[in-house]
A and B are shown apart, each in its own frame.
Chain A
Amino acid sequence: MPAAPRPHRAAHPRRRGAARAYSRPALSKGILTGADDASTIRLAPLPADVAQRTGVAAVSLDHGRREVLLDDGERVGYDGLVLATGARAATLTDIGSADPGAVETVLRDLDDARALAGRLVTRPRVLVVGGGVLGTEVASACVAAGCEVTVVGRDAPLLPQLGAHLADVVVAAARRHGVRFAHHEGGVRLRGAGPATTVDLADGRRFEADLVITAIGCRPNVEWLAGSGLLPARHRGGLAVDDRCRLVPGVVAAGDVAAFPGPTGHRRSPLWTSAIEQAGTAAAALLRADAAPLVPRPYFWTEQFGLALKACGALPVAGPPAVVDGDPDVGGALLRWPETTAVSINQRVPIARLRALALAG
């Protein structure tokens, strides 16, 4: 039997900002459109028996001595450790696709969202780099603010994330709202130093705007683990855990920082529900030797261009769906891809029903 960990006093240097925890998905939705503010997206406080330290960062880990070093010099001991440092916005500079000195606008935290919302008031012409779900959600908020918006990227918009059918539904709605799209497999290059305004697409087209927003995915916050011996040489893909979210004995990882094993190897799944599922498994695995493995139940949603889309099951989905209810072209619809995925568009469906539909043959 392992020694019983001290769960509540374990080092848990989770939140860097001094602000109370808030709902990150709301940043690209209600905060940008103005429907929300910091007070309405605040999360319920942690139970009173969790000691919380905010406004500090963990800067290194000495797992031999079971200590986390904080940036104020304090060392926090632990029996069990949860690594949940999340991710940050990837930039074009990160991937070598920006001229030296380029200053990029990204959306990851509340300060980013507030700053961006402030910029949108002046209705700049906007270029969104990255046609993933975050990029298109941002585009939606920008058109709602009255901006002219173009989305440029390497892949066809939303295709790798959602699959052809669903991507078409969302992109068609975006075009109806006036959004323009351009992509090329060769990717983009950000031109010039200072606040970005010019983007070259690999096919030679040049795009100019008042504001360029980079939304090309996120990178795991693992650099602070560099000296710990727990960080593999290739860590761009996150902390590779086992099916109980364990990294090494006494250390678990969950959320955007963790890469969970699946049929195609270890992959990060930087989504709200994945983080919640993994957190439950990780905590149980830290406390009990016989904790059950996690069988992920993927659940995804997005809101953009008047569409509220919820999906249970795997994404992207290939091929056309069976229409269970409604009509995707007129109002809401309930769609399914047998034995894989069920999707509701502008329809309120209990998640249990959506899940059952996804699993049904």
Chain B
Amino acid sequence: MKITVDRDRCEGYGLCEERAPRLVHLDDDGELVVDVDEIPAERVAEAQDAARVCPVAALRIGA
């Protein structure tokens, strides 16, 4: 499972980072960085949670 960010949609709200700080973070320019290539099995729920709080639905969790 991977996290993909729709760059055109992401507004840099950062709510996802608050949910999953080990998986994603906003860099100094406010761009979202995905910190894992493959989501560790024990963090998949956390990743889903991060995707669900994004107010513009910019994150996708999938293969």
Any chain A CB within 8 A of the CB of B40? no
Chain A 63-77 interface 0/1 with B at a Cβ cutoff of 8 Å (1 = within) = 000000000000000
Instruction: Please determine whether B14 and A41 come into contact, CB atoms closer than 8 angstroms.
Output: no
Any chain B CB within 8 A of the CB of A161? no
* Segment among A95-103, A251-259, A349-357 that sits at the interface with chain B: A349-357
Residues of A within 8 A of B54 (CB): 23
Where the two chains meet, the residues of A that have a C-beta atom closer than 8 Å to any C-beta of B are 22-23, 25-26, 30, 40-47, 272-273, 276, 299, 301, 303, 308, 310, 347-352
A to B CB contacts below 8 Å, 21 in the list: A23-B54, A23-B57, A25-B56, A26-B55, A40-B57, A42-B57, A44-B48, A44-B51, A44-B57, A44-B61, A45-B48, A46-B52, A47-B45, A47-B48, A301-B55, A308-B11, A348-B30, A348-B31, A350-B25, A351-B13, A351-B17
Instruction: Please determine whether B14 and A272 come into contact, CB atoms closer than 8 angstroms.
Output: no
Where the two chains meet, the residues of B that have a C-beta atom closer than 8 Å to any C-beta of A are 9, 11-15, 17-18, 25-31, 45, 48, 51-57, 59-61
Report Cα–Cα, A44/B55, bound state, in Å: 11
Residues of A within 8 A of B56 (CB): 23, 25-26, 30, 41
Instruction: Please determine whether B26 and A351 come into contact, CB atoms closer than 8 angstroms.
Output: yes
Instruction: Please determine whether A276 and B53 come into contact, CB atoms closer than 8 angstroms.
Output: yes
Residues of A within 8 A of B61 (CB): 44
Residues of A within 8 A of B25 (CB): 350
Task: Using A41-B57, A349-B12, A351-B12 as known contacts, list a sample of 16 further A-B pairs with CB atoms less than 8 Å apart, ordered by residue number in A.
Answer: A23-B54, A23-B56, A25-B56, A42-B57, A43-B51, A43-B52, A44-B48, A44-B51, A273-B15, A301-B55, A308-B11, A348-B29, A349-B30, A350-B27, A350-B30, A351-B15
Residues of A within 8 A of B9 (CB): 40
Report Cα–Cα, A303/B14, bound state, in Å: 16
- Please give me the residue from chain B that is nearest to A347 by CB atom: B30
- Please give me the residue from chain B that is nearest to A29 by CB atom: B56
Instruction: Please determine whether A351 and B48 come into contact, CB atoms closer than 8 angstroms.
Output: no
Known pairs A26-B57, A351-B26; A44 contacts B13 (CB<8 A): no
Q: Which 8 residue pairs spanning A and B have beta carbons closest together?
A: A348-B30, A351-B14, A44-B51, A350-B26, A44-B52, A348-B12, A25-B55, A272-B55
Residues of B within 8 A of A25 (CB): 55-56
Residues of A within 8 A of B17 (CB): 351-352
Residues of A within 8 A of B11 (CB): 301, 303, 308
Min CB distance B49 to A, Å, is 8
Min CB distance B30 to A, Å, is 3
Residues of A within 8 A of B59 (CB): 44
Known pairs A40-B9, A44-B51, A47-B48; A350 contacts B57 (CB<8 A): no
Known pairs A44-B52, A350-B30; A310 contacts B13 (CB<8 A): yes
- Please give me the residue from chain A that is nearest to B31 by CB atom: A348
Known pairs A44-B61, A349-B30, A350-B27; A276 contacts B48 (CB<8 A): no
Report Cα–Cα, A276/B50, bound state, in Å: 11
- Please give me the residue from chain B that is nearest to A350 by CB atom: B26
